Amino acid sequence: MKKINKILISVILIILLVIVGFIAYDRLTINNQYKIGEKNLQIPIFVYHDIVMTEDEVEYDYMQTTLDKFKKQINGLISLGYRPISYEDLIAYSKGEKELYKKSFLITFDDGYNGVYKYAYPFAKENNIPITSFVINNNVGTDGYYNWDAAREMDKSSVVGIYSHSMKHDEYDGYKPEDLLLDVNESLKQIEKELGHSVTKIFTYPYGLYSSEGSKLLKDNGIIQNLTDNKINHSNELDLYALHRMYPLQDPVWKILMKIEYRSIRYGG
């Protein structure tokens, strides 16, 4: 019995030493930067929708996040060494033109709700945190959605990127590829007209619905594409035309980190 206890204690001590060693190494290398191909990085893209002030306003946990929860999530990740980046950073990294910190992530908002302008934008501006808002063109300025004046203000701040979530938020997996392309191009052209400058061609599929044929045609036309499949991007197989995104929901930071690790292991990379 004593021999078994000694073995168990030894195993526990070894496990603890490994954990402590891993944590120490992680902290020592937290500021390391890498070019693509030098290290297989996890690059989560977080998808939010609307930011609200109180818990009473949260109808669905994937649609509304309170400002307090949002701040705690982002500040918590940053305190652990995570660095928020933009799509332009990610694109430059994919081309070998830029290094990324070993813990980098993107923050995205779908649909263009007022809460992005009222709450997320001031927080991002104050802390110089890049965020991305994907707008539904036909909804801009309607009830519950910010207008083009707000879009222009956020765009000029240089912390908010505004790109396409389609003209009318339809189920585009049932569209002919050429009709999907027409919709996305129309959306991007209107965004450029309203903002007064060209924008990177980035599109997020409504409902996460897409077809392989439509995706290929958009890729052939240089349009970066976001999925919403709760998977994690890995730099050794980074695909700008099928970027994975995950929901932080109302989760505390420790749970977000566990989900990142779990999904990285489950889905490979």
Q: Where are the alpha helices (DSSP H) in 138-233?
A: 148-156, 177-195, 212-220
**pLDDT (tens digit, 9 = 90+) per residue, 216-268?**
999 999 999 999 999 999 999 999 999 999 999 999 999 999 999 999 998 87
The dihedral through the CA atoms of 211, 233, 237, 104 has a sign that is: positive
Contact between 36 and 104 under an 8 Å Cβ cutoff? The reply is no
> For the domain 35-267, what is the CATH superfamily, name and number?
Glycoside hydrolase/deacetylase (3.20.20.370)
Burial of 159 (0-12, 13-18, 19+ CB in 10 A): buried
Strand stretches in the chain, DSSP E: 33-34, 42-43, 45-48, 50-52, 64-66, 83-84, 100-101, 104-111, 131-135, 160-164, 202-204, 224-226, 233-234
Overall pTM > 0.85: yes
Spatial distance between the Cα atoms of 264 and 234, rounded to a whole number of angstroms: 8
**pLDDT (tens digit, 9 = 90+) per residue, 153-173?**
999 999 999 999 999 999 999
**pLDDT (tens digit, 9 = 90+) per residue, 182-221?**
999 999 999 999 999 999 999 999 999 999 999 999 999 9
Question: How large a percentage of the chain has pLDDT more than 70?
Answer: 89
Interval 112-116 mean pLDDT: 98
